[in-house]
Structure 1
Amino acid sequence: MTTLPIKLTPGASADRIDGWDTDPDGRPVLKVRVRARPIEGEANTALIKLLAKTLGVPKSAVSLARGGQSRTKMIAVEGLSEPELKARLTDL
């Protein structure tokens, strides 16, 4: 299992991955925007769906590990090593 730090922006005009940024502590985070609103987990569901499609893995392989009600989240991805995950995100 590989973890992926995310900074999520809900309510965007389109679902998209904006690339890598750093958080205030200097750690890398992947910036992601989804159209869904942060109501009843809709934005989290949209995030998981977008990441699964982008990474080429089933939705069941992507789960929310931490940050359910925060914009900063930690996503767990099953079946990909860290180098494989970063390579698939670099090819965007």
Structure 2
Amino acid sequence: MLTVTGYEVELVKDPYGILAGKRYEFVLDIEVPEDDELYSEQGLYIRVIYKVEEDSSGIVKYEIFERTTERYLEFEMEDDEIALVDAFCKEHLAQAAE
């Protein structure tokens, strides 16, 4: 199971009003156990695009990267990890700079 150790969040600007609702970009620093297939000595972070509309919110897209190399890792998170990230993002929306 992953653990979020730090984060940054910002509102994604939509100057033309093309997107419904609001989009936020989260960069989540994470730790995973050494026995997890996702583990990297370089450190990891997840880039998450999170949408908020009138009647729904949720993850649009996520990407996992090695911290020091910025290398994209083609891994899928498990359902419980996605739920954890979704709940974390929902809880921390208020910290986004508008």
Which is richer in strand? Answer: 2
Establish whether TM, by shorter chain, passes 0.5. no
With the length of structure 1 as denominator, give the TM-score of the two structures.
0.31
Higher relative contact order (CA 8 A, sep 6+): 1
TM-score between the two structures when normalised by the length of structure 2? 0.30
